[in-house]
Structure 1
Amino acid sequence: MPPPSLPFASSAAGQGEGPKSQSFGGIEGTEMTQLTITNIKRPGSDQPESITVEHGVIKGWNLPHEGEVIDGQGGTLAPALTELHAHLREPGQTEKEDLASGLAAAAAGGYGTVVSMPNTSPVVDDPAIVRALIEKAEGLGFARLKPAAALTKGQKGEQLAELAFLKDAGAAMFTDDGRTNENARVLRLGLEYAHSLGMVISVHAEDATLRADGVINEGPVSEALGLPGNPAAAEAARVARDIEIVAQTGARLHVQHLSTARALDLVREAKKRGLPVTCEVCPHHLTLTDEALRSFDAIYKVAPPLRTQADAQHLLAGLLDGTVDCLATDHAPHTRAEKERDLLDAPFGIAYIELAFPLMWTRFGEQLGLEKLLDLMTQAPARVMGWPEPTLEAGTPADLVVLDLQTQRTVNPAEFKSKARFSPWAGEMLRGWPTLTVVNGRVAYRRE
């Protein structure tokens, strides 16, 4: 390990190595056998075709069938989805989720690449933890893991973690998600160092002093229920502060799980100023509102909280006009016992990485269109991260998903790969279910 006196030094690891196979986002492929998927359609086409992959790379379309052949059953082929914000709970919280269950769930949801959050136990602030997570995930054969590392040691917001070493170990981004960055100077220094490393910092944008002990959106519902509220101003005030730090540093900042109309307007204004600010919106903030909390069911308790219908409509408009850069789930599994506590004591979070595409396609497919929705969940996350954008062209990495856009299926949490087998959408009929996910040329999920 490099000496602690050089906490931000660059590493020369990897120099002098031999040729490597093609990569996506810095993860190298491995040798695979040939696989052909037949009876599939490209997005926007009704023409049945086939695609062949070999050694983890797309070989071409409509070639003679060799190796393993899988019938795509008339589904639509797309690049596998990319998730920039998921809590996989390993290490230390594996009663909620672990790499095996979380990455299997991601593959079942059509995801080929998942960025995991570092608010685990211990926190992912050590290069050895990053390497161990990547090594374990590679042996599972599900979705590809790209761990995020903590911006500050222990996510305490006081001292920067060893960012250069974490990057060299394979960290995808830096974030203290799960906690807010209260110290503006530390965030400024972190942005400056991350900028020098060519890395993105993502932030949970809430002013902790305004949020206080709020467990629900502050407004008529919180007042009617007598519950402490979390005001929209908590998010907007923090987004405004962070944008000004970006203006001073020129560094890239990604705002996680944006939930309010005002905060979105601030991001829109920052983009007009030419600032390198991006943001994500989660399907639960688009499809649920604080009215759901009238049930007193903690399954709807999330951070930031479910907002109003007006906020949800504003976020959807942001998707349509391009202000919102991408979709992310903030997949946050907990045990059923934890979510059965009362609203004051239950933890924040909803787990639904397996449902994200079907939920968005069913609710908003007509408004967004297939091309736009796929972009928000494939190419757009890659653009946020500065990764090569996934395509279906020959010679590109074979991360693929086959989607059944027509057949309705009931959401049955008992069938989830995730350990969190309960859902706000249980019993709903959704379309757009993944039937096959291929990661690095290998089958990571196939619906039985």
Structure 2
Amino acid sequence: MSTLRIFNGRIIDPANGRDEKADLWIRDGVIIETPVDGTKADEEIDAKGRIVAPGLIDIHVHFREPGQSHKETIGTGSQAAAAGGFTSVVCMPNTSPAADNAGTITLIREKAATSSVVNIFTTGAITKGLAGQELAPYNAMVGAGIVAITDDGHCVQNHEVMRRAVEYARMFGLVVLDHCQDYSLVGGGVMNEGEWSLRLGLPGWPRIGEEIIVMRNILLADLCDSPIHCQHISSGGSVRLIREARARGVKISGEVCPHHIALTDDHLQTFDSNYKMNPPLRTERDIEAIIGGIADGTLDILCSDHAPHAKYEKEVELDQAPFGILGLETEFGLFSDILVHKKKAIDMARLIELYTSKPAKLLSLDRGTLGVGAQGDVTLIDPDLEWVYDKELSPSLSRNTPFHGTEMKGRAVQTIVAGKTVWSL
């Protein structure tokens, strides 16, 4: 049997209410009680000055395989995840072909089993082909191992179809993850509708295009008594709607990506497509509302929406470029820098909770804890490390990021999956 001992670190395990300096032991990939018989470990890691956290979880990534492996593969995406401190990620179904059937989902899981260095969880599509018209076969996809359903990258516009999706999801114990975008309001918008879209002469993407679907989801979650999770919240109005609904006991939740609190729409004045994302960058007013929502618990999931694109795809006119940026390697540092160190909206223990026990609970994942018997997934964090992101060092196949050269404070420095180090600084 192989044993690992991590010592001298500050263990923060929100799932078990634990925050203390202690040893952590892992045997054959599983966390065990600290031995009292003088057992010596096969490997030891001195975590002095570091936080020992459950392996971080990102529930919103795009690894592009199958069908778009020129952007990213499961292998390279998993390496980027490990470099960001993530031991588990949840992949979206907008692959080519879409992950809307058991065969494609099985293919993804088999590929992950042989090429990924982290745990890969899969979602299934809400509708066939992500077309928003006909429900995908949930029973077969559950059998293939999905943990949620979503049409991410698309949004079901037909409310009757969405209602039936939520009702069927409840039967299978699934959470519906929704990309909130009303097509009739958003139209061909490429950036936030406001001062800068007018100045630049670019089609605007109004806040209400997100908010009206958030409200739709609140009504359906209430009607069906089943959870709906709103993806990548960008509007202050959406935060208010979710806060009011949660106060009434509605099973609605929301997540935040770092770019929606780190950047504003005025960055588009350079016409740099690395600032083009869906939903778009908005204003300081929205940022303050989102940070307030994180601070008061309205928004309790953090993620990246890691969306790699090849260089030639982004180096075109702004209105022709695809939406999306890389995120796995920079998200923890950005959230740590902004939320913990600069804004002091939350502390490090809360930040870790939003990346571990909260996402694990939402999707019923057997991760996000350092309890005895749990898989030995661990992230070591230096909360005060000051560092600069260099995109050229990324293991991702793509380079579409606006954060090259950005200074941050706080970083994951070692990633351990099932007791084995898969990345270290």
Q: How does 1:37-436 map to 2 (within 5 A)?
A: 37-43=6-12, 49-61=22-34, 64-72=39-47, 74-366=49-341, 367=344, 368-388=346-366, 390-436=368-414
CA contact (8 A) 2:314 2:400 kept: no
Distance, in Å, in 2 between the alignment partners of 1:303 and 1:46 is 37
Structure 1 residue 49: Cα displacement: 4.5
Whichever residue aligns with residue 384 of structure 1, its letter is: L
Shift of 1:132: 2.0
Residue 389 of structure 1, CA deviation: 6.2
- Kept in 2, the 8 Å contact 1:116–1:148? The answer is yes
Secondary structure at the residue paired with 1:421? coil
Once residues 19 and 60 of structure 2 are traced to their aligned partners in structure 1, the CA distance between those partners, rounded to angstroms, is 33
Distance 1:62 1:75, change over 3 A: farther
C-alpha distance in 1, partners of 2:116/2:367? 22
**Does the residue aligned with 1:42 lie in a helix, a strand or coil?**
strand
The whole-number CA distance in structure 2 between the counterparts of 1:48 and 1:213 is 53
* Deviation (angstroms), 1:439: 1.4
Q: How many Å separate the matches in 1 of 2:35 and 2:116?
A: 27
In structure 2, distance between residues paired with 1:388 and 1:131: 20
Give secondary structure in 2 for the equivalent of 1:185: helix
> What letter matches 1:102 in structure 2?
G
2:412 pairs with 1:437: no
Please say if residues 221 and 251 of structure 2, whose CA atoms lie closer than 8 Å, have aligned partners that are also in contact.
yes
Write the deviation string for residues 71-103 of structure 1: whole angstroms up to 9, x where unpaired. 435321101111111111010001111100111
- 1:55 offset after TM fit, Å? 2.0
Amino acid at match of 2:383: L
8 Å contact from structure 2 (residues 309, 399) kept in 1: no
- Cα distance, 1:394 vs. partner? 2.6
Kept after mapping to 2: 8 A contact 1:56/1:398: yes
The superposition leaves residues 9-40 of structure 1 with CA deviations (integer Å, 9 ceiling, x where unpaired) of xxxxxxxxxxxxxxxxxxxxxxx732223342
CA distance in 2, matches of 1:334, 1:343: 14
Identity of aligned residues (%): 37
Q: Which whole-Å CA distance do the structure 2 matches of 1:216 and 1:168 have between them? A: 39
3-state DSSP of counterpart to 2:146:
coil
Q: Distance in 1 between matches of 2:51 and 2:73?
A: 30
C-alpha distance 46-122 of structure 1, shift in aligned 2 (>3 A): closer
Distance in 1 (CA, whole Å) between partners of 2:260 and 2:35 is 41
In the alignment, the residues of structure 2 paired with residue 318 and residue 107 of structure 1 have an alpha-carbon distance, to the nearest angstrom, of 28
Secondary structure in 1 matching 2:63: coil
Equivalent pairs counted in the alignment come to 416
Amino acid aligned to 2:270: S
Worse-superposed segment, 248-257 or 421-430: 421-430
- Contact between 2:63 and 2:91, CA under 8 Å: does it hold in 1? yes
In structure 2, the residue corresponding to 1:148 is in which secondary structure?
strand
Shift of residue 46, structure 1, vs aligned partner: 11
Residue by residue, what CA displacement relative to the aligned partner does 1:135-189 show, whole Å, maximum 9, x if unpaired? Answer: 2212235110001111111111111110011011111110001111111111111
Partner of 1:35: 4
8 A Cα contact 1:147 1:172, kept in partner? yes
Q: What SS does the corresponding residue of 2:320 show, helix, strand or coil?
A: coil
Secondary structure of the 1:187 match is helix
* Equivalent residues of 1:436, 1:443 under 8 A apart: yes
Bigger shift: residues 40-49 or 393-402: 40-49
C-alpha distance in structure 2 between counterparts of 1:381 and 1:243, whole Å? 19
Shift of 1:276: 0.8
- Deviation per CA, 1:293-336: give whole Å up to 9, x if none: 11110100000100111001100000000100211111111011
Question: Which letter maps to 2:412?
Answer: P
AA aligned to 2:417 is V
How far does residue 253 in structure 1 lie from its aligned partner after superposition?
0.5
Structure 1: which amino acid aligns with 2:128? Answer: K
Shift of 1:62: 7.4
Segments of structure 1 that go 5 or more residues without pairing to the other structure are: 1-31
* Aligned-residue offset at 1:48: 6.2
Q: Secondary structure at the match of 2:288?
A: helix
Contact 1:217/1:306 (<8 A) preserved: yes
TM-score by length of 2: 0.94
Structure 1 residue 56: deviation in Å? 1.8
Summarize the Cα distance change of 1:67–1:141 in structure 2 as closer, same or farther, 3 Å threshold: farther
**8 A Cα contact 2:57 2:368, kept in partner:** no
The answer on whether the counterparts of 1:414 and 1:422 sit within 8 Å (CA) in structure 2 is: no
CA–CA separation in structure 2 for the residues paired with 1:146 and 1:396: 17
Could you tell me which amino acid in structure 1 is paired with residue 4 of structure 2? L
Tell me the SS of whatever aligns to 2:385: coil
TM-score (norm 1): 0.89
- Cα offset for 1:61? 4.1
Cα gap change, 1:52/1:314 in structure 2, threshold over 3 Å: closer, same or farther?
Answer: same
